[in-house]
Amino acid sequence: MKTSLFLVVFLMTFFIKAQSQTVEKLLNVKPDVYFADRDSAYADPYYGLKKLIYGNKRFAENKSISPRQSEADLKNNELGQKPFATIIGCADSRVPNEIIFDQGVGDLFITRTAGQVMAKASYGTIEYGTVALGTKLIVVLGHESCGAVDAAMKLPDNPPGHVVTLINAIKPAALKAKAAQLNDKEELDLAVRSNVIEQVALLRNL
Ligand SMILES: [Zn+2]
């Protein structure tokens, strides 16, 4: 789980191709230089992304520093918040955002639902992060072995209660992955990635 997070990033002013090139470049960081300045991360989404990727590398290599969690940091947060990234992530208990990105209190503005399926309240949350808090980086975060995506892959006829909302939202990605005729793991990985890409496209077209 540690090394297999899928990051697809929505930067306000970049196209998808440029985004993936940026992510690839940042993933090739040299060992032991996994740090990015907090103020720069808030001011510029490129450095924000860098900060997340470096933090995830620290976490994956058991080198987490758990920043900005001291008593003084908590006191400082009473004055207000300036999170450097908005994250739309899955509710999966194994993907706690501050821990996997090795960030602290006041760093991340997060909305989480199963399969990171978005609704109007999610959009309002994202807009609040951008408009009121000045956060410039928006990340849609999928992850390996996502139970919500796996459930959608089974194309259930009558999902219980409101679970149907999740299944229906993920279904286009599930159908796309099934059409690719891969083995089970590759199929699920493709569905997870396709689901993130669909959600980024939805956000871009709001
Ligand atoms: Zn999940």
Q: What is the pLDDT of residues 44-91, one digit of tens each?
A: 999 999 999 999 999 999 999 999 999 999 999 999 999 999 999 999
Cα(141) to centroid of ligand 1, in Å?
A: 9
How many domains does the structure of the chain reveal?
1
Cα(170) to centroid of ligand 1, in Å?
A: 11
CB atoms within 10 A of CB 105: 16
The answer to the question of whether 146 is labelled as a binding residue is: yes
Cα(43) to centroid of ligand 1, in Å?
A: 30
Cβ–Cβ < 8 Å for 153, 135: no
Report the relative pairing of strands 85-90 and 108-113 from DSSP bridges. Answer: parallel
Among 31, 65, 26, CA closest to 45: 26
Cα(78) to centroid of ligand 1, in Å?
A: 32
Q: What is the domain range of residue 110?
A: 5-204
pLDDT tens-digit map of 47-59: 999 999 999 999 9
Among 111, 121, 61, 69, CA closest to 91: 111
Cα(83) to centroid of ligand 1, in Å?
A: 23
CATH number at residue 72: 3.40.1050.10
Report the relative pairing of strands 137-143 and 5-11 from DSSP bridges. Answer: antiparallel
